[in-house]
């Protein structure tokens, strides 16, 4: 099944590619891979929440935002670099960053939001290496940021 067909089956519509907030491009192709820049959970150009996970933002909400970040990354890879979603064959690596309150230690659960949706879309080809890192701050006060390295078909 094609990636486009799988997205339709899941009822997932990829968002428009988010405009960069600094001096970078959303995605770059090199050697059969598409590297995405860190994606924030923008929905129609707006962050749905700001703040630290564990105090201002719940872990459950942050997990949903990580899912949005992964879909934004797929949109960037498909539109800006790969030449269409069906040119993406799978996922190599996910890097997740969680703006964490001092005592928050649930970063892996938050980043699961990204990993799980990529697994739903790509099946076994969505299995990937990953980092889930707690950080003090993220751009624009975002609670989460995700970067993905995709494999081209």
- Residue 137 CB contacts under 8 Å (≥ 6 apart), including other chains: 99
Top-level class of domain 3-16+25-152: alpha beta
- Domain positions in the chain are 3-16+25-152
Per residue in 68-114, pLDDT tens?
A: 999 999 999 999 666 799 999 999 999 999 999 999 999 999 999 99
Q: At what angle do helices 3-10 and 107-122 cross, to 10 degrees?
A: 120
Furthest C-alpha separation in the chain: 44
Per residue in 63-75, pLDDT tens?
A: 999 999 999 999 9
């Amino acid at each position: 099944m094609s990636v486009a067909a799988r997205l339709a089956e899941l009822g997932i519509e990829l968002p428009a590619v988010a405009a960069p907030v600094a001096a970078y491009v959303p995605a770059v192709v090199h050697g059969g891979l598409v590297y995405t820049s860190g994606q924030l959970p923008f929905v129609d150009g707006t962050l749905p929440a700001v703040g630290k996970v564990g105090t201002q933002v719940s872990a459950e909400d942050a997990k949903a935002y990580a899912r949005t970040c992964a879909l934004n990354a797929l949109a960037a890879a498909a539109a800006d670099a790969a030449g269409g979603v069906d040119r993406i064959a799978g996922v190599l690596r996910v890097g997740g960053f969680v703006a964490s309150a001092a005592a928050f230690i649930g970063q892996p659960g938050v980043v699961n939001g990204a990993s799980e949706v990529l697994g739903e879309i790509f099946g076994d080809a969505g299995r990937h290496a990953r980092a889930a890192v707690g950080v003090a701050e993220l751009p624009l006060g975002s609670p989460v940021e995700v970067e993905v390295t995709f494999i081209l078909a």
